[in-house]
A and B are shown apart, each in its own frame.
Chain A
Amino acid sequence: MFRYRKIKSTALYALCVASVLLALIPLLLIFYRTLSFGFTALNLDFFTQLPKPVGESGGGLANAIVGTMILVGIGCCLSLPVGILSGIYLSEYGQNVFGTSVRFLTDVLSGVPSIVTGVVAYTLVVIPMKHFSAYAGGVALAILMIPTITRTTEEMMKTVPHSYREAALALGISEWKTTLRIILRTSLGGVVTGVMLAIARAAGETAPLLFTALNNRFWHTTLDQPIASLTVFIYNYGVSPFDDWIAQAWAGALVLMLMILLLSIAVRFATRKRYHEH
């Protein structure tokens, strides 16, 4: 009997490990391929130069790196307040029909194909403005980010034990301060994870940018103009017939991955658990 249980336990453990390895294989393959192909095309010019005209070799994707940052930045400016405040609403006051419908619609929104959000941003921003712009791209990315941020904020705030809320209220701390400075603060680690997931997803999106931010082979001068982005460049260069463009697409993918990685590490460091609040 004992042996039977032991065998079962070992078998299940082995199954778990095997599943983890299986899940890691594609990740490692992608990482290895991007590193080995992208690294060779990476040089200082890549970070400082504009793309060269067709036929000329060299150049870089400096405008696309900055463009991705700006697009994601605009997306964050729009989606962080909306997403976090909606999450707070759902977790603290959303136990009613309205809350349930918002929750349901948020889940539906997160399942909408990203190209559709591009169409929405096209209709909402591009058509009234009559041209493609960084704003339109930012709006498209924000629509993609909001559901993730809302739902993780809600879920994370719900994991904070009720006893902390009671402790704070019993100290004569007002309800909104309790929500922001105790509940949200306690769940900050989880909320940040959600925000990082949303940023990573938005930064890697191509489809919603195709007819909102479009693309730009030069430096943008204002935000109501088309703007370059790494993903659109990767897409355009990746399907091109030129070897050096394809190499630059790999380098762009590598840079994009590293940017997300660095941002993740930096944000985690800034919001790490600590007890010194002064």
Chain B
Amino acid sequence: MQKEISTISVQPTVAAVPVELASKREKISAHQVCAFFGQNQALKNISLSIPEHSVVAIIGPSGCGKSTFLRSVNRMHEMIPESRITGTLTLDGEDIYQMDAVQVRRRIGMVFQKPNPFPTMSIADNVSAGLRMNGMRDRRRIEEIVERSLRQAALWNEVKDSLFKGGMSLSGGQQQRLCIARALAVSPDVLLMDEPASALDPISTAKIEELMYELKKDYTIVIVTHNMQQAARVSDRTAFFYMGELIEYDGTKKIFTMPSKKQTEEYITGRFG
């Protein structure tokens, strides 16, 4: 009898993380990560593990540290003066803060909230910027990668006849997919997306979401979003941040159907935040 009860109480947690996820290799791991801006502490002891080939969504109200966490993963955080980080972040078991920052960023790509194609470059040059500026000269190879990346970003069919037009001539949604293609061109393992669809209309948003589903076959994706429906739609796991702390991290289905923390429930039901 005793045994049965304990089984029942444990059951939901196990079922909430799909078996296929639980068996996946760990891609990024954070252990006791704290981030500071001067005297301000933006992250408090964040520990979480991101499995390979999955989409992890980070949700939470503004100022909760979502973006800071994302930026500490690819070391963009340290570009801000007086910023500091403690704790350990690893990529494939390797300490990110022991690696060369430039190398980290080539393995962990990033897509920003507002599309930001380089204004002086054509569509093709935008995609190949990362390759060219890191010394790739082989024109044929560059062209191949440009096409592959644009196909991956589901933009190829729309721009294949205008590759030499300016990147800024595209619509907002196309520009954002161009930025995704640009990030993919340097063949990262991980793609960080900081509210990638918040500046886009619903149709473009749907395209980006569809894309994430395709991309997770080859990449590991971490997405910060304000839109809880989006998190529920695209992610396998969801982390809820509040006031710089990780309140809850679990399978997306569980977070949205039976969160174990009261704060999580209140946030997803719209009672605060």
A interface residues (Cβ-Cβ under 8 A, vs B) = 95, 161, 163-164, 166-174, 177, 181-182, 185-186, 188, 273, 275-278
Contacts and interface: CB of A to CB of B under 8 A. Distances in A.
B interface, by DSSP: helix, strand, loop or mixed?
mixed
A110 B134 CA distance: 39
A interface, by DSSP: helix, strand, loop or mixed?
helix
Contacts of B74: 170
Nearest to A178: B133
Nearest to B74: A170
A276 B133 contact: no
Contacts of A182: 118
25 contacts: A163-B114, A164-B116, A164-B119, A166-B79, A166-B112, A166-B116, A167-B118, A167-B179, A168-B133, A169-B76, A170-B76, A170-B109, A170-B112, A172-B105, A172-B107, A172-B130, A172-B186, A173-B102, A173-B133, A174-B102, A177-B133, A275-B165, A277-B120, A277-B122, A278-B139
A161 B106 contact: no
Interface of B: 74, 76, 79, 81, 102-107, 109-110, 112, 114, 116, 118-122, 125, 129-130, 133-134, 139, 164-167, 179, 182-183, 186
Residue in B102, B118, B120, B130 with the greatest tally of chain A CB atoms within 10 Å: B120
A150 B112 CA distance: 32
Contacts of A276: 122, 164
A118 B79 CA distance: 43
A177 to B, nearest CB: 5
Given A166-B79, A166-B112, A173 B119 contact: no
B179 A275 contact: no
Contacts of B139: 278
A211 to B, nearest CB: 44
A181 B118 CA distance: 10
Residue in B121, B125, B182 with the greatest tally of chain A CB atoms within 10 Å: B121
Given A163-B112, A276-B164, A171 B106 contact: yes
A185 B120 CA distance: 7
A163 B139 CA distance: 28
B164 A275 contact: yes
Contacts of B165: 275
B125 A277 contact: yes
A275 B123 CA distance: 8
B79 A169 contact: yes
A157 B205 CA distance: 33
Given A275-B166, A276-B164, A186 B118 contact: yes
Given A177-B133, A275-B125, A170 B119 contact: no
A92 to B, nearest CB: 12
A177 B119 CA distance: 16
Contact of B183 (A163, A171, A174, A277): A171
Contact of A173 (B122, B125, B130, B166): B130
A172 B118 contact: no
A188 B118 CA distance: 13
A277 B114 CA distance: 25
Nearest to A273: B120
Contacts of A185: 120
B118 A164 contact: yes
B116 A169 contact: no
B248 to A, nearest CB: 28
Nearest to B75: A169
Contacts of B79: 166, 169
Contacts of B76: 166, 169-170
B186 A161 contact: no
A167 B112 contact: yes
A164 B167 CA distance: 13
Contact of A170 (B81, B105, B125): B105
B22 to A, nearest CB: 31
Contacts of A163: 112, 114, 116
Given A166-B79, A170-B105, 14 more contacts: A164-B116, A164-B119, A170-B112, A171-B129, A171-B130, A173-B129, A173-B130, A173-B133, A177-B133, A182-B118, A273-B120, A275-B122, A275-B166, A277-B121
